[in-house]
Amino acid sequence: MTLLIMAAALGAVAVVTGIAVFVVDSMARATFLLLASFVAVAVLLLAFGLAYLGIVVVLMMTIEMMIMVVFMVMLMMNPAGLEPMTMVHNRAGSRVIALAVFVVLAAGALLVPWPTRPAAPGDPTTALGADLMGPQMLTMTVLGLALLATIVGTVALSVSPGSRR
């Protein structure tokens, strides 16, 4: 029962902060609200015993959001992303598309015949991690460092000397 209450609370936090992303008028605030939504989902995954997925979501989303904020502060005309702006364009079209996608997904969840057999024995989180990375863990680590070096190098090359404000 406690897990159910926690799942409902974290789900509510994820949904409310996800909606707030489109309500606030600042890129920086929207970024941190989106991060809060992802962290709520990650904590929910951890609560359900999916440690690998929960940690991956926390690590990936935290790092991605921080990089996004840094680039926002560095490269946007809007200082620190705090100037008012709209986060939604074509409101009527967006609502129609969102409603249509919701109806299709809800119909799929309600009409698809779900399997009734029990899950295969074994730890699904470990199996997913092995399937995703397998022997390529070193490759992915090096690739991540190479991407970071590329981002830093690109920013360093794009800033002309003496353009500091």
Write the pLDDT tens digit of every residue in 51-80.
878 888 888 888 888 887 777 777 766 665
148 in Cβ contact with 70 (< 8 Å): no
**In which domain, by residue range, is 31 found?**
2-108+125-133
Distance, in Å, from the CA atom of 79 to the CA atom of 122, rounded to the nearest integer, reads 51
pTM for the model stands at 0.55
In-domain check, residue 154? no
Domain count, the chain: 1
Per-residue confidence (pLDDT) for residue 28, from 0 to 100: 77
Rounded to the nearest 10°, the torsion over CA 115, 119, 120, 122 is 150
Distance, in Å, from the CA atom of 79 to the CA atom of 67, rounded to the nearest integer, reads 16
In-domain check, residue 162? no
> Which residues of the chain carry a pLDDT beneath 70?
76-88, 119-120, 125-126, 129, 137-138, 160-165
In-domain check, residue 150? no
Per-residue confidence (pLDDT) for residue 105, from 0 to 100: 94
